[in-house]
Amino acid sequence: MFTESRAQDLLAVILGAFTALSPLWVDTNDRAMWTLIVLGVLIALTGLAQMARPAMAMADYAMGLFGALLFISPWAMDFTEYSGASWTAWIVGVVTVVVAIAALPVVTARMHRTTGGMAPHH
């Protein structure tokens, strides 16, 4: 099941768990708390999905989307006055997008390997 080591997937799980649990130690309102919990859980789940099924390329795209949503959430959900929650969303959001983008070339290389070398030879 977890056959290949992909540090970015483990990092995504850690980032997601950190974000989902962050309302325990940062000041939030209801919108900030639920935004951090929901997006944190989704980020962690996409990391776990990639660990379980590395060939599932859509999880990397979903992870990038969740990271981008997390980044814009302080403005979209109007909780910028809660600096701890906002900084958590901004930093983890950017790092999550970077992690997702870093994973994309690996997925592409894996897909080429699984075609069995059926690429045309010149």
Residue-wise pLDDT tens digits, 36-67: 999 999 999 999 998 888 777 788 899 999 99
For 25, counting Cβ atoms within 10 Å of its Cβ (0-12 exposed, 13-18 middle, 19+ buried), the class is: exposed
The model's confidence at residue 115, banded by pLDDT at 50, 70 and 90, is low
Residue 82 lies in a domain: yes
Q: Per the structure, how many domains does the chain have?
A: 1
Residue 122 lies in a domain: no
Query: In the prediction, which pLDDT does 107 show?
Result: 52
Residue 121 lies in a domain: no
41 vs 122, higher pLDDT: 41
What single-letter DSSP state applies at residue 121?
Answer: P
pTM of this structure: 0.81
Are residues 92 and 15 in contact, defined by beta-carbon separation less than 8 angstroms?
yes
Residue 120 lies in a domain: no
Residue 56 lies in a domain: yes
Domain housing 62: 7-111
